Each structure stands twice: as C-alpha cells, then as structure tokens.
C-alpha cells in the first residue's frame, strides 16, 4: 500500500467499551436512531463539540487522547511537529504548512469517500432479493470529471434492498477483509450491527409497539439513496500519542494505566512520566509504538434517504425533491444539502533504533478510519 500522501490509507486494530461510546455520542448531541439501517448524520451544522460556546465544546472539545485531554499550543505547530517527528515529512515541506494540510485533508476526503462506498457495497450484500451479491464500489464511486473539479471523487448509490427477518447473515459478513483495511473494527461492527438489527426489529415491535415510531414488516423493500459530492475540507487537528498504540494498550494493561495516570497530571508535571516511558521503550527495548491521529471536516453536497417502498414512508433522511420553475444547476441534486462530516483517522508508527548507527527510524503502518461524525464516540484509545 502507498502512503497517505499518495492517497492510499488503512489497516485494522481494536474495540472500545460500548457504554463509554454511548456516553460520548450522547454528550456530543449526536445520537443516531436505533432503527437506522445505515447510520448517517444529515445535520447541516458542525458537531456541537467543534462549536465554541457550547457545553460539548467545553466538556469534550477535540476528543484527543482522552475526554479530559486538551491540545496544548497552536494547532499548526502541533501538526508540524507531528508530521516531522512521526510522518517523516521533510522540514522544508512544512514551511508551507497550509499546503501540507490541504494535501492531507484532500487525502482524508478521498479515503472517507472510498470507505463509505465500501460500507454501502457491504450493505447491498444484505439484500435477500434476486441479486444478493453486493454492488461493486466501482459502480458507486463517481470519479472526478477533470482536473478543474473541486472534489477528488464522490458517491452515487441508489439501490433497492429486500430484507427479511430470517435473512442468512453470512451474506453480510463476507466483505469484512476489505473493510478491515479501511476501518477500525469498532466502526465496522457498528454498521454491521445496525444492518442486522434493522431486519430483526419487528420482533421487538411486537412486544411493545410504543418503543418505535416505525413498524417493520416481515419482508421489506427499502430504497436507499446517497449521493455525496465532497467540495471542501478543513484539517481540524493532527497530533501524536507517543509510546502508546491500540495494540500495546491491549497487550499491556499496565502501560494503559500508567498513561491514564500521566494524563491526570498537569502538563508541566508530565516530564518525569515521559522520561520513564522513553527509558523503558526507546533506551531499554530499542523501539516504541506511537499513534498519530488526524481529524478533518469534509464538506459535502449530498442527498440521503431510506424509504420503505411498501408504505412509502421515509425512515431516514429526506427524499429528493422535484425541480421547480427556478433554474437549478443540473450537476446538483435537487434537495441536496451542504453537510459537514467529521472524519477521524489514525495510524501506528513504530520507532526503532538502528543497532549499528544508534539512530532512530520510523516505520509507518497504514492509516485507518476510526470514526465518522462521532458515531462511536470518537473511538478513543484511552
């Protein structure tokens, strides 16, 4: 695989506690419906935690290493240090930091679009109709028309799914290998659970019809539509978590405990902790695993809805509108909205000491998407 800057990203890791994720999502004002077959944010405003003056901004902020962690110093300076120290970007390329951030955010937009296309492709494989195979991502991705367009690629998905409560779930579980190269497993599990739970929800509705505003039929035909054209990006943060990765946090609970203790201290009191980590990992073991995390807003012109073809009810999003007398750009879907999506990605960087020269070199693993619009509460390591 190529590096992120050549627009090839991804590689899998680990789960986090469900209760903590639900708490973070609720606090961020971004609770997704339990009856959603495809969790998707349709609000035209930023997540509350990104808006200064809101309670979520004060309590959660950028959701860095942990909920209580704050980003110290200028965000551009943090991006420069992280890119130089962990991503092996030469210093002279960081003189124009805006160019680097634009390249990085453009790559994240590309990864986000391809990742969502693969999630939709997997969703289509859950159909129990005559065509139970998935729709190829090549049929979902809209390539850039030419070099003058503002987007790298987009999505045009418009399919009819036939769902049955007794569906064989094996159809939906056949595409995990590809997705595991793009998403952290918690995100995959969330989308998979939403799709499989949707088809079974009729059993719960029979027990208590008041718990759901939408009643499922035993055999459902759903029209799923997502047209998404990214048109702008903004890199929110790029920072590193030295000495800690999802892998070593899982394998070494004491390291995770030590890191939590360090983060509970004021920033001026962490030098001794970092010195101990350096001694144990770099000096004694000759290597360390760190995590680099990037958060980016991808603005999209998009139309999204899920429609029950049996009842005609829109159960997610808003249906496409008919064109009126007013002249409208034919390239823009009528009824589309400008939606900001927050994409969170991370990669593990392994720093090793050369036994001959004694210098340290970084070995970068692939980027993966760890969250979209806080559907899994930021998917924090700590």
Q: Give the number of domains in the chain.
A: 1
Domain region containing 343? 4-372
Tell me if 37 sits within 8 A of 198, measured CB to CB.
yes
Q: Is residue 17 part of a domain?
A: yes
Query: Which residues on neighbouring strands pair with residue 353, listed in sequence order?
Result: 360
Place of tokens 């010195």: 275
Q: Is residue 377 part of a domain?
A: no
Q: What is the pLDDT of residue 340?
A: 97
CA dist., res. 246 & res. 176, Å (int): 20
Contacts of 218 (CB under 8 A, 6+ apart): 164, 165, 202
Contacts of 359 (CB under 8 A, 6+ apart): 353
Q: Is residue 337 part of a domain?
A: yes
- Between strands 219-241 and 360-364, the pairing is unpaired
Average confidence (pLDDT) per 10 residues, the chain, 382 residues: 36 33 43 76 93 86 63 71 93 88 94 95 73 78 69 89 61 68 94 84 48 55 94 92 93 92 87 93 91 96 94 87 48 75 96 86 95 94 86
Q: Is residue 378 part of a domain?
A: no
Tell me if 319 sits within 8 A of 313, measured CB to CB.
no
210 exposure class (CB count in 10 Å sphere: 0-12, 13-18, 19+): exposed
Query: Which residues on neighbouring strands pair with residue 154, listed in sequence order?
Result: 142
Q: Is residue 381 part of a domain?
A: no
User: Helices marked H in the chain — which ranges?
Assistant: 18-27, 55-59, 75-86, 97-124, 176-179, 185-207, 246-251, 253-263, 271-278
Q: Is residue 276 part of a domain?
A: yes
Q: Is residue 382 part of a domain?
A: no
Q: What is the pLDDT of residue 149?
A: 54
- pTM comes to 0.82
């Amino acid at each position: 695989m190529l590096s992120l800057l050549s627009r090839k990203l991804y590689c899998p890791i680990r789960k986090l506690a469900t209760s903590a994720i639900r708490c973070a999502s609720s606090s961020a004002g971004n609770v997704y419906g339990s009856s959603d077959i495809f969790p998707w944010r349709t609000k035209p405003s930023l997540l509350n935690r990104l808006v200064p003056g809101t309670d979520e901004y004060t309590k959660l902020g950028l959701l860095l290493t942990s909920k209580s962690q704050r980003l110290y110093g200028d965000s551009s300076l943090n991006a420069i240090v992280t890119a130089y120290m962990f991503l092996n970007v030469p210093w002279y390329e960081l003189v124009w930091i805006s160019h680097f951030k634009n390249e990085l955010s453009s790559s994240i937009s590309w990864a986000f679009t391809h990742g969502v296309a693969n999630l939709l492709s997997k969703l289509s494989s859950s159909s129990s109709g005559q065509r139970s195979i998935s729709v190829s991502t090549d049929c979902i991705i809209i390539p850039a028309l030419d070099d003058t367009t503002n987007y790298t690629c987009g999505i045009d998905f418009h399919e009819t799914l036939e769902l049955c409560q007794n569906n064989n779930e094996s159809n939906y579980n056949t595409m995990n290998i590809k997705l595991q190269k793009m998403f952290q497993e918690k995100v995959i599990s969330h989308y998979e659970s939403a799709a499989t739970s949707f088809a079974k929800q009729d059993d719960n509705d029979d027990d208590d019809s008041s718990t759901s505003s939408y009643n499922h039929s035993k055999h459902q035909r759903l029209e799923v539509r997502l047209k998404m054209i990214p048109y702008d990006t903004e890199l929110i943060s790029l920072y590193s978590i030295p000495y800690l990765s999802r892998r070593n946090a899982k394998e070494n609970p004491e390291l995770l405990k030590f890191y939590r203790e360090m983060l509970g201290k004021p920033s001026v009191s962490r030098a001794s902790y970092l010195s101990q980590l350096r001694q144990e990992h770099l000096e004694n073991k000759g290597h360390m695993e760190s995590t680099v995390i990037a958060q980016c807003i991808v603005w999209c012109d998009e139309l999204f809805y899920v429609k029950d073809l049996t009842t005609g009810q829109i159960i997610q999003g808003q249906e496409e509108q008919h064109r009126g007398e007013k002249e409208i750009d034919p390239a823009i879907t009528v009824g589309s909205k400008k939606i900001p999506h927050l994409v969170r990605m991370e990669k593990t960087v392994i720093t090793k000491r050369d036994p001959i020269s004694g210098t340290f070199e970084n070995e970068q693993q692939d980027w993966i998407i760890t969250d979209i619009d806080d559907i899994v509460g930021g998917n924090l390591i700590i």
